[in-house]
Amino acid sequence: MRRKRRVKVVATLGPASSATEMIERLFLAGVDVFRINMSHSSHETARALQNSVRWVAKRHRHPIGILADLQGPKFRVGEFAGGRVFVNDGAIFRFERTEKPGSSESVYLPHPQIFAAVEPGHMLLLDDGKLRMRVIEKKNNSIAAEVLVGGALSSRKGISLPDTLLPIGPLTEKDRADLGHLLKIGVDWLALSFIQRADDVHEVRKLVGDRAAVLAKIEKPSAIVDLDAIIAASDGLMVARGDLGVELPVERVPGLQKQITRKARAAGKPVVVATQMLESMISSPVPTRAEVSDVATAVFDGADAVMLSAESAIGQFPLEAIQMMDRIAIEVEADPSYDAIIHATTTPPQPTGADAIATAAHAIADTVKLSAIVCYTATGSTALRVTRERPNLPIMGLTPVESTARRLSLVWGVQSVMTGDPATLTDMVSKACRIAFDEGFVQPHGGVLITAGVPFGSPGATNMIRIAFVDENGAPVAEGR
């Protein structure tokens, strides 16, 4: 099941892709990680999807990651008399704490946190930013706002506050119940919505422990302000471009995508680029040229993974969307300019032994012209440090820990293989050569670079590099330090 590309593909499961047979077809077409969106999934649905993905992984003896996306807080206006009103440009519109049917002049807002935090001058965005208002007055029980861009507004439409730091955590009661269920059934990554600050990640980390990796979705302006601390607190990042494009001017999103990708890569944290990547393929068997360029840009930027949402969850052509994403990524990585672009931004190593080993591995592999880099890794940290360098060689992550193998399925360039820790240095080299040969990463008389930590089985102790060449049967014929 060796992929022909290094960037990974994430696909959201939904009505169009929930059958086990379709999940298997999507995996064979190129999916590395399946996403379960808890905004639209019951606990029973999540368990069924998890069982199906694990069955496919076992059938094909290949680690497949599961990313569960928590809904997070959602803010919505109340009900309108008649279900829908029209709000005029320039009008003064009020949000009230008194529950009553709304009109073209006011509506009930059932969120006391907003009344506590909003200030005059803050922007209010309704219905995914279609309506825009600016707060001109705040009282204990009402907020008055000037309508900058009006339009039709229906009951229960969402409201966003890009300028307001709300006094709430990232988990609602629903999220806490979902989180407990997801940890019970077993998922590999947890995506956190509505992250405003690094403390939000720390709060969830206390509940999750090491039972899943934590991925912070960057979708709020306040998260951009605290980006460095959020990256440090997280195991990975997602560029949630849909919400970013609502709460910030859309022309800023491409630059922020590059900034987040660059910073995450420098920190050795995987980053996923998401939202509307092949949106037209929800109803069309082919994407637009602009969408193809959008996916290509993410691959050229060095993102670890690109993600499909509605395209695979509810679209008419989920299989074709995966195949298209796969073909775009393969074509980009084969482009003559790819290596120059992806290495145009250097990522200075951090002052640690593991980073020094990873940097040296990249340089050695390029100099000696080897076929693959083989990383023995218990926690995944060794593979993460190596992939941070974006080497030109395939990366194999050999691990005795199944959860590590599945988590690495989200990471650029890494193919995980389950294997036990070697008993000796000789066994380490022999096992690495045999697996690389059997998996098709090295041909007879080719060479591999091996990184590991001694003593074996000690997490975070990457301290050794070996070079080995293989004979016609995949056995090592020479090795050197």
Let me know: does 281 contact 248? Beta carbons within 8 Å.
no
Give CA–CA dist 16/318, Å, rounded. Answer: 7
Which residues have C-beta within 8 Å of that of residue 459, sequence separation ≥ 6?
A: 378, 379, 381, 453
For residue 455, whether the previous peptide bond is cis, meaning omega lies within 30 degrees of 0, is yes
DSSP string, 64-86: -EEEEE------B--PBTTSEEE
The whole-angstrom distance between residue 146's C-alpha and the CA centroid of its chain comes to 37
The 106-108 sheet, strands edge to edge: 106-108, 92-96, 142-149, 131-138, 123-126, 159-160
Q: Which residue has the tokens 């080719």?
A: 446
Three-class secondary structure of residue 117 per DSSP: helix
- Positive or negative, the CA dihedral 399, 403, 404, 408 is positive
Which helix H or strand E contains 189, and what residues bound it?
Answer: strand 189-192
Dihedral of the CA atoms 264, 351, 387, 392 (nearest 10)? 120
Give CA–CA dist 264/217, Å, rounded. Answer: 12
Active site residue 217: yes
For residue 215, give the nearest of 295, 270, 273, 274 by alpha carbon: 270
Give CA–CA dist 302/341, Å, rounded. Answer: 9
Tokens matching residue 116: 């506590």
Q: Which residue has the tokens 């008055």?
A: 144
Give CA–CA dist 255/251, Å, rounded. Answer: 8
Give CA–CA dist 340/296, Å, rounded. Answer: 15
* Catalytic site residue from 164, 261, 275, 399: 275
Active site residue 76: yes
* Catalytic site residue from 217, 258, 431, 466: 217
Give CA–CA dist 94/304, Å, rounded. Answer: 44
The whole-angstrom distance between residue 264's C-alpha and the CA centroid of its chain comes to 11
* Catalytic site residue from 5, 6, 8, 35: 35
Active site residue 424: no
Let me know: does 439 contact 374? Beta carbons within 8 Å.
no
Active site residue 399: no
Residue 467: phi and psi, rounded to 5, are -115, 135
Helices 289-300/253-266 angle, 10° precision = 30
Give the residue ranges of DSSP H helices in 192-314: 198-208, 221-225, 227-233, 241-247, 253-266, 289-300, 310-313
Do you know the residue count of the chain? 481
* Catalytic site residue from 2, 58, 59, 76: 76
Tokens matching residue 447: 């060479």
Active site residues: 35, 76, 217, 275
